[in-house]
Amino acid sequence: MSINALRFRVGVSGVLGLIWTSAAPGQGPLFGPAVHYAAGDEPLSVAIGDLNGDQAPDLAVANYNSNNVSVLLNESPWPCYADCDQSTGVGVLDLFDFLCFQNSFVNSEPYACDCDTSTGNGVCDIFDFLCIQNAFVSGCP
């Protein structure tokens, strides 16, 4: 199990907050800045899946008080990224590339923040993380 984890914070403000932590077990949390997305009244839970059939992970948020679901579609182009750990070459991703990306993501390095181009702000967010996960799982076609 990875020492890195994604934490979801849901609340009554109608906003879904996503926080990434790089804390090792037994250490205090090391949180980056939260990223907020509009949701319904009292978001309660989050599901990740390909909701529109484009092979990109999207988010669905169950809203307790508004009795509905907020859908956040991932609009990234899903390009294949260079070999992060430089062991296998461009177009081939392995476990070490994935671990390299996780470390880059936690440290907000440019490699990790450029995967999802829908925001274009250079800040690592959940969609950058999902982008590299999708590239890894799909074999980086």
pLDDT digits (tens, 9 = 90+) for 32-52: 555 667 788 888 888 877 788
Q: Are 100 and 94 in contact (CB under 8 A)?
A: no
pLDDT tens for 16-33 read 555 545 555 555 555 555
pLDDT lower than 70: segments of the chain: 1-36, 55-56, 75-94, 97, 109-122, 135-141
